[in-house]
Structure 1
Amino acid sequence: MLISALHKRVSRLGAQPLITYYDGEEGSRIELSAVTFANWVDKTANLIADLGHDDGEPIDIALASSHPGHWVTLVWIAAAWQRGCAVNPDVTGADLLVVGPGDDRRAETTVACSLHPLGLGFPTPPANAVDYREVFGQPDLHDMAVGGESYEWDGAAAPAVMGRDDRVLLRDPAPGWETVARALVEPVLGTGSTVVVVRTSDEGVGRISAGERVAH
């Protein structure tokens, strides 16, 4: 569902912004077009396969709870679905676990993400984990699971979502399906886009809202 819609979006409106992410404390802004986002998803899906994780087996994406709305989190969710894997937004015992900086939880295979604005790795390699920087060595090839994509979230089929065509700002989004739906699924199913803003003052959010021309 989401992956096929993403590739339709790439073919129709590939250069237009899909996800824009601001971190006020870091003073960073990164904008991903549909083409760029899909490229990250393809590389991450290929990393999942390269790590030996079987298509269709669930993935614990703890990033979805610790850093909801982060562009890396959204990439991992889409990549898991591309591999036909259900997404668990916390640690449930799956063979593959994805964590953020400072998260020492580990599984049979763990990928640690620095969440650097440009996707760079940790200054010091994370203990007992694969640094997400390894994704840069993956091919851009779009590889789908033989059994098709997944659309499962937290142990069940994800709720149906309507696409949207406007540009929406999400401030410090909370963990949960609503953030995934608003930030990722809705704009991909439509022609819209999302601006995620974290750790930013009211004044800063106001400036970003005006500059990005969000609908609300």
Structure 2
Amino acid sequence: MFISALRTRTATNGAQPLLTYYDGAADTRTELSGATFSNWVDKTANLIADLGHEDGEPIDVLLASTHPGHWVTLVWIAAAWQRGCPVNSRVTGADLLVVGPEDERRAEQTVACSLHPLGRGFATPPTDAVDYVEVFAQPDIHDASVFAGHDIFDGEPLPNVQGRDTRILLPDPHRGVEPLLEILVTPVLGTGSSVVTVGCTPDQLISVATAEHAILVS
């Protein structure tokens, strides 16, 4: 469901912003159009296959707990669904584990993400994990699994939701399926977009909402 909607969104409204991410503490901003987000998803889905992870097998995306609103987290979730892989936000023993920059947890196969605003790798690459920067070497080809369409998050299929056509700002989203639906799924199903902020002060939030022409959701 989600990947099909993303393909439609990319084809019909790909140049428009889909996701904008602010890190208040680092004073960084990353904006992804629908087409750019889709490109990251395709590359990441191809990385999953290149790592030898089987389509339809679960992936423990711990970023969904430690950095639930980060654009890299959302790319990984979408890429997992493109491969038909259920996404777990906790350690469940899946063969493939995806972690952030200071997370030392490891599995049979682990991808570590620096969460650099431009997607760059670690200054010192991890010795016991794949640096997510390797995604840049992957082709842009869209390769969806026959299992794609079964979008599962933490053991449950995604609920049916309506598309959203507005631009909203969501500060410091918490873990769970509801923020995921609001940030990623509803705008993809519609023509809307999301601005996510982390670590911003109240004054910064007002400034960002004004600059981004976004509705601040409390």
Query: Which range, TM-score by smaller chain?
Result: over 0.9
Unaligned runs of 5+ residues in structure 1 are none
- The 5 Å alignment of 1:6-25 reads 6-25=6-25
- The 5 Å alignment of 1:62-141 reads 62-141=62-141
Secondary structure of the residue that 2:75 maps to in structure 1?
helix
Give, in whole Å, the separation in 2 of the partners of 1:215 and 1:198.
16
Query: Once superposed, what is the RMSD of the aligned Cα atoms?
Result: 0.8
Residue 209 of structure 1 aligns to which amino acid in structure 2? Answer: A
Deviation at 1:156, TM superposition (A): 1.8
Q: Which residue of 2 aligns with 1:210?
A: 210
Indicate yes or no: 2:197 matched with 1:201. no
Deviation at 1:25, TM superposition (A): 1.0
Deviation at 1:41, TM superposition (A): 0.1
Give, in whole Å, the separation in 2 of the partners of 1:197 and 1:147.
33
Deviation at 1:84, TM superposition (A): 0.4
Q: Which residue of 1 aligns with 2:183?
A: 183
Indicate yes or no: 2:145 matched with 1:145. yes
Give, in whole Å, the separation in 2 of the partners of 1:172 and 1:93.
28
Q: Which residue of 1 aligns with 2:47?
A: 47
Secondary structure of the residue that 2:180 maps to in structure 1?
helix
Q: Deviations over 1:46-69 (max 9, x none)?
A: 000000000000000000000011
Counterpart contact for 1:82–1:150, Cα < 8 Å: no
Secondary structure of the residue that 2:53 maps to in structure 1?
coil
Taking structure 1 as the reference length, the TM-score comes to 0.98
Deviation at 1:81, TM superposition (A): 0.2
Indicate yes or no: 2:22 matched with 1:27. no
Counterpart contact for 2:121–2:133, Cα < 8 Å: yes
Residue 137 of structure 1 aligns to which amino acid in structure 2? Answer: A
Counterpart contact for 1:83–1:150, Cα < 8 Å: no
Give, in whole Å, the separation in 1 of the partners of 2:66 and 2:7.
28
Give, in whole Å, the separation in 1 of the partners of 2:172 and 2:214.
16
Give, in whole Å, the separation in 1 of the partners of 2:116 and 2:147.
33
Counterpart contact for 2:3–2:148, Cα < 8 Å: no
Secondary structure of the residue that 2:103 maps to in structure 1?
coil
Secondary structure of the residue that 2:215 maps to in structure 1?
coil
Give, in whole Å, the separation in 1 of the partners of 2:149 and 2:132.
22
Give, in whole Å, the separation in 1 of the partners of 2:195 and 2:147.
33
Give, in whole Å, the separation in 1 of the partners of 2:42 and 2:150.
15
State how many pairs are aligned: 216
Counterpart contact for 2:112–2:132, Cα < 8 Å: yes
Structure 1 segments (4+ residues) deviating >4 Å:
none
Unaligned runs of 5+ residues in structure 2 are none
Deviation at 1:189, TM superposition (A): 0.4
